Amino acid sequence: MARLAPGFAKLGMTCEEVADDLRELLNLEDRAVEAALPALLKILRWEGHRVDALNIIADMLDPDKPGRWKLELRRNVRGTPSERHGDYYHWIALEYFELFEELESQGMRSPAKEARRRLIKQWKLSENEIRTAVQWWRRRGLIPGP
């Protein structure tokens, strides 16, 4: 079995962390390009990864950096981009579905309506935010919903 060079395992670990951050951004991001680009550049330029290729890609994506080659980030999904990061919708939907399951198991007459009412009261959410979050989850196939 070949021995790894010193520091290689640590480098691999940080690259995995960057990959996880990128996966999360790609799976949860639903904002317009202008809003998502700074988060993507921050992940690519993370100091801990020591991978120059990621910094070069970040420079090519960054509209403020000069260079002969530029990459253009664009959304590849239909519909109007949301104003919020997908993570926001993820947590709202998670709260909604957990509350819905709890109320349904208690035999509540209309658990969906009661779950929405409680979230509006507890978190000061609008009906539209809850609806958008639930649709956001369903579009991604994260959970079969009520």
95-130 pLDDT tens trace: 999 999 999 999 989 999 999 999 999 988 889 888
11-68 pLDDT tens trace: 455 777 888 888 877 766 667 788 788 888 988 888 777 778 888 999 999 999 988 9
What does each C-alpha distance from 135 to 12, 36, 79, 82 come to in angstroms? 36, 20, 12, 12
Q: Are residues 56 and 91 in the same domain?
A: no
Mean pLDDT, range 2-14, rounded to an integer: 47
Residue 78 within a domain: no
Query: Domain tally for the chain?
Result: 2
Residue 39 within a domain: yes
Residue 70 within a domain: no
Residue 89 CA, distance from chain mean position: 9
Q: Are residues 57 and 91 in the same domain?
A: no
Q: Are residues 21 and 56 in the same domain?
A: yes
Residue 66 within a domain: no
What does each C-alpha distance from 64 to 47, 59, 61, 72, 132 come to in angstroms? 19, 8, 9, 13, 33
Owning domain of residue 100: 86-139
Mean pLDDT, range 90-98, rounded to an integer: 88
Residue 108 within a domain: yes
Q: What is the pLDDT of residue 8?
A: 41
Q: Are residues 56 and 16 in the same domain?
A: yes
Residue 29 near residue 89, CB atoms below 8 Å: no
pLDDT for 94 beyond 50:
yes
Backbone angles phi and psi of 23, in degrees to 5: -60, -45
Cβ neighbours, 10 Å, residue 54: 17
Q: What is the pLDDT of residue 28?
A: 65
